[in-house]
A and B are shown apart, each in its own frame.
Chain A
Amino acid sequence: MSLLKKVFLVDLFQGLWVTFRNQHPKHLVTEQYPAERPMVAERYRGAPRLNINPENGETLCIACNLCALACPETLIVVTSERNEQTKRKELTTFTYDTSRCMFCGLCEDACPVDALELTQDFELASYTREGQIWDRQMLEEGPRPTPYKC
């Protein structure tokens, strides 16, 4: 570095000029969560949901157990009962332990009828460990986080 540059602190002012350029309000990037909802992508892998058929309100799940087999953490438990009239398996309970889930999406990929889906909800916190284990009802209705009020 030449002496003149050193004396006049050129490197310092050069850096300050960069910071100054970035002061302009159009460079603001901070998201004001939770006051402002962040936009998550369409493919976001968040809270699980067990889809129901909108026409008759029945679950889409055929209790094939493939999701439970695909899961690396084996955190899904599916139980079913054979319906004597239709000779088909029917879902009785479905538990999903979100506290151990790593949202890898393997269960969703394995489901043959798109019944299990990872959705855009991302607020999964709960006050207890037990609250992290979701049953069938919770999975069908989705999480209900308390909205933030300023």
Chain B
Amino acid sequence: MTPDATFLDSTELVLNMGPQHPSTHGVLRVILKLDGEKVLGTDCVLGYLHRGVEKIAENRTWAQFNPYVDRMDYVAAISNGLGYCLAVEKLLNLEVPGRAQAVRVILTELNRIGSHLLWLGTHALDIGAITPVFYCFREREATLNIFEKYCGARLTTHAFRVGGLQYETYEGFEKEVNEFCDMFLPKVDEYEELLTGNRIWIGRLKDVGILTGEECKEYGVTGPVLRAAGVKWDLRKAQPYSGYEKYEFDIPTCQNGDTYDRYMVRMQEMRQSVRIIRQAVASIPEGPIMGKAPKVIKPPVGEAYVSIEAPKGELGYYVVSDGSTQPYRVRVRPPSFINLQALDRMIAGGLVADVVAIIGTLDIVLGEVDR
């Protein structure tokens, strides 16, 4: 501070948050420009977890690249796998059997619940509520157990293959999934009991980090953030894939687009996922689990863009084939990366404490931001 600075003047303070900060959810570094407690601007420094996934793809065969996509959004690995498989199937113009589609939907929705639970637990932890994280992880464990029994891995599952599924469902799969649904719905109410009416929770989240529908579109923000701003848009409804058109569910929306609304939307989404899972389990058709995928995947020359509604937003794969066994280019449109870009707008004029709330509410996974 210069000597003649008076009491009313203040100099800009630059504060480094991260890359090792517990509430940046990984290795995100945010450079904050502060005026006292007020945030004037942010600059995100990314790339600490950059592994060059897109370059790796160019040096693997189409089938070999499949396990790598799990390592981007590792919280929702199954969604990543589904997106990639759908993209390659599109290039191959391949039909996936109904049974495989239904099982895919069940697992992806379970994964969405798991992802939202992890978000809820850590977000609440950031805000200062310690209890929910234990309960959330307890229920998430149940979804992970189902994955483990189904495909042998819990986190980076590699559950799907191009053309369908590698593994048949295990004995008692339907029963276990149904039991999970019955067990889970009351638990969501329990989380809501803990948080929804809590005055600290409301105080920290209401009217924090507002992003209107128009701004969301400007910034390309998708997923629960967009829906919390009142835009009723979900790729599962807008452009159904993998048989989502067969299931009945609602798209939960809210109006204000603040952090609290995003919380409400995600809570509702978990309930809707349970609804989808119940319908899908009740109607798994009999039949093969693998489509007519060639042994060596060699898509014709061409390109395709396929996107799905991942727990975080629109997850897209732009795949280009030059007719060989290796991808010519795989581009991932990561929802976390693009949603994070709106951080600057959401934070403008907020307080330092809100930064934590806003990073939490965006539900980013750094593995996907940096790839």
Residues of A bordering B, CB below 8 Å: 1, 6, 10-12, 14-15, 17-19, 22, 29, 40-45, 70-72, 102-106, 109, 118
Contacts and interface: CB of A to CB of B under 8 A. Distances in A.
Contacts of B71: 102
26 contacts: A6-B199, A11-B197, A12-B198, A14-B194, A14-B197, A15-B193, A17-B193, A18-B190, A18-B193, A18-B194, A29-B138, A41-B148, A44-B148, A44-B152, A44-B153, A45-B151, A45-B153, A72-B64, A72-B65, A102-B71, A102-B156, A105-B151, A105-B153, A106-B64, A109-B166, A118-B152
Contacts of B199: 1, 6, 11-12
B167 A43 contact: yes
Contacts of A14: 193-194, 197
Contacts of B166: 105, 109
Given A42-B170, A105-B166, 14 more contacts: A10-B197, A14-B194, A14-B197, A15-B194, A15-B198, A18-B193, A22-B135, A29-B141, A41-B152, A43-B167, A45-B152, A45-B153, A70-B64, A109-B166
B215 to A, nearest CB: 30
Interface residues of B, number: 31
Given A40-B148, A41-B149, A44-B148, A105 B158 contact: yes
B153 A103 contact: yes
B291 interface: no
Interface in B54-90: 60, 63-68, 71
Contacts of B197: 1, 10-11, 14
Nearest to B135: A22
Interface string B142-159: 000100111111001010
B298 to A, nearest CB: 15
A104 B158 CA distance: 6
A94 to B, nearest CB: 20
B131 interface: yes
Nearest to A22: B135
Given A18-B190, A18-B194, A29-B141, A43 B64 contact: no
Contacts of B198: 11-12, 15
Contacts of A118: 152
Nearest to A9: B199
Contacts of B65: 72
Contacts of B158: 104-106
A29 B71 CA distance: 28
Contacts of B141: 29
Contacts of B153: 44-45, 103, 105
A106 B67 CA distance: 9
Given A15-B198, A72-B65, A43 B135 contact: no
B63 to A, nearest CB: 7
